[in-house]
Amino acid sequence: MTNTKSNETSDFAALKAGVRGSYFTTGRDTKLASYLREMAVNVEDCELGAGSKRRALFVIGDSGSGKTRSLQHHFETMPEFRPYLNEHGETVSPVLSIDAPRPCNTKALAIAILTALGLPTRERMTEHTLFAVLKVQLRERGVKYLHIDEMQHVMRHNTATAIRHVQDTLKSLIQIADWPLHTIYSGVPELAELLRGDPQLANRSRVLRYDALSCPADAQWITGILAKVTTEGCGLALSAELLEDDFPEKLCLAANGAFGSMIAMVQEACFRALERGRKSLSLKEFARNYERDTGCMPRDNVFTAARWRDLVPRHALADLA
């Protein structure tokens, strides 16, 4: 009996891992893949001495929009970004991906990158020395693409002087002598401030927006993930209320239009239904999870309220203020 229960628990954990590990494409993926492919081509052009100066990509969108997951997916699936064996039989990873520490400044950023490379640092080292070492090590280790997630953390000081210093630092990374380093920065809309007021950085960058989804314009993507996660991933049927025309709009509103958050909401609702032995997914799984996650009053639950279109999810706790 114990073994049977243990096996069921293990099987459910494996199912959840598989569902959470699935990747769902949207129209943005075509554009992101195109930008990354252009970047890879430019690396080759730079190595031949004729590359473009546009060596930075900013991926900007609200929290939960799917920026990080999209980049990870393309790094893993595009040949240009996968690890390879060099002529000495050593594994080289052309991509280094890190999260910007918080709180953060440019010195802390240099330390974080060097730490990710497995190199020791000393706090008394100057920022100039840290970046000098960093640039040499990126070249020595064959890193051609540096991805920094949550890049807005570097902008903790928003004075004009501080922002200018960050801008100058970013430009220096894509101007390493005889090395075609390209940089990718992902973060929330605050990150766009780095591109304002510095034509040089703007002229060296491309920008990809991860805008919020809306209904009815993006209803096809929302109904698509609902079907894939529920029926294909979890083997559940969809109740009639989830097939109504307004459900994609409810889900979109509850997630503030963030595609990644919508996927997570559907996944967690399915897991709740499976834990309770249900054969189909219903609206109540979404409503109960939403109440648990936001702390909203029943009258403010996007999935069950009569006037749900008038609700603002970020105001779910307004009655406590």
One digit per residue, pLDDT tens: the chain, 321 residues? 556 666 668 899 999 999 999 999 888 999 999 999 999 999 999 999 989 999 999 999 999 999 999 999 999 999 999 999 989 899 999 999 999 998 889 999 999 999 999 998 887 899 999 999 999 999 999 999 999 999 999 887 678 888 899 999 999 999 998 999 999 999 999 999 999 889 999 999 999 999 999 999 999 999 999 999 999 999 999 999 999 999 999 999 999 999 999 999 999 999 999 999 999 999 999 999 999 999 999 999 999 999 999 999 999 888 886
Tell me, yes or no, whether 180 and 38 share the same domain: yes
How far is CA 113 from each of CA 58, 95, 149, 200, 243, rounded to the nearest angstrom?
18, 12, 12, 24, 47
User: Which CATH number characterizes residue 192's domain?
Assistant: 3.40.50.300
> What is the number of residues in the chain?
321
Tell me, yes or no, whether 273 and 230 share the same domain: yes
Q: Are strands 182-187 and 56-61 parallel, antiparallel or unpaired?
A: parallel
Both structure tokens of 278: 């249900």
**Sequence-distant (≥ 6) Cβ neighbours of residue 288 within 8 angstroms:** 272
In which residue are the tokens 């996007």 written? 302
Tell me, yes or no, whether 168 and 245 share the same domain: no
Q: What is the Cα–Cα distance from 203 to 103, expressed in whole angstroms?
A: 28
- What residue type is 12 in one-letter code? F
| Element spanning 262, H or E | helix 259-275
Cβ 75 vs Cβ 23: under 8 Å: no
**Sequence-distant (≥ 6) Cβ neighbours of residue 12 within 8 angstroms:** 274, 275
Domain end, chosen from 163, 178, 210, is at 210
**Sequence-distant (≥ 6) Cβ neighbours of residue 142 within 8 angstroms:** 86, 92, 93, 94
Q: What is the Cα–Cα distance from 68 to 31, expressed in whole angstroms?
A: 15
Domain membership of residue 219 (yes or no) is yes
Domain that holds residue 55: 27-210
Tell me, yes or no, whether 32 and 174 share the same domain: yes
Tell me, yes or no, whether 106 and 233 share the same domain: no
Helix (H, G, I), strand (E, B) or coil at 9: helix
| Element spanning 129, H or E | helix 127-140
Domain membership of residue 10 (yes or no) is no
Tell me, yes or no, whether 226 and 272 share the same domain: yes
Q: What is the Cα–Cα distance from 248 to 83, expressed in whole angstroms?
A: 39
List the one residue out of 69, 42, 49, 80 whose CA is nearest residue 262: 69
How far is CA 227 from each of CA 230, 236, 271, 280, 281, rounded to the nearest angstrom?
5, 9, 14, 12, 11
Domain end, chosen from 184, 210, 236, is at 210
**What predicted TM-score, i.e. pTM, was given to this entire model?**
0.90
Domain end, chosen from 165, 190, 210, is at 210
Tell me, yes or no, whether 156 and 234 share the same domain: no
